[in-house]
Amino acid sequence: MHKVTLIGMPGSGKSAVGKILAARLGWEFVDTDRCIEARHGLPLQTLIDRVGEAAFAKIEEDAILELEVCEGTVISTGGSAVYSEAAMRHLSLISTVVFIDADFAAILRHIGSEAPRGIVGLTAGGLEVLLLERVPLYRRWATVVVASGADTPEEIAGQILSELPKV
């Protein structure tokens, strides 16, 4: 199988790591959040605000199920993709799923330094509660788990490469 899917919390570095990983492997890179934004012509948070979290979950699931990627592709998903059994089952069938297990401090550092982003479920109890809720889902679907804290995206990509089944 010559596809890798990166899952994890917003701010875990999926997009940055995914681009580096794809470059090192000589593969394509696809970010499902960017695909959704392109399809709907709106930033993620604006789309979530406009349609609501339940409708956005369906949009995200459909985007993943309709994803047409060639062999030799690194896929970066939105952090909430793990809420969709169908989407995650699909990704598990077509790719090696890698959970970037970033600690809370690293997530806060990344999210705090970026422009506002769409984060499903954030209002329910804050980022820490969301992390606690999602980690078991990420672990459930992951073939490979790479812990990251203060690691750079380059270091995380290197860890993933060393953990991947031979591609």
CATH number where 145 lies? 3.40.50.300
Q: Please compute Rg for the chain using Cα positions.
A: 15
Q: Is 108 exposed, middle or buried (0-12, 13-18, 19+ CB in 10 A)?
A: middle
- Rounded to whole angstroms, what are the CA distances from 136 to 139, 140, 145, 152, 160? 5, 6, 12, 24, 20
- Per-residue pLDDT band for 125 (boundaries 50, 70, 90) equals low
CA distance 142 to 77: 13
Average pLDDT of the chain is 89
Q: How far is CA 113 from the centre of its chain?
A: 18
| pLDDT over threshold 90, residue 127 | no
Q: Which domain covers residue 44, as residue numbers?
A: 3-163
- Domains in the chain: how many in total? 1
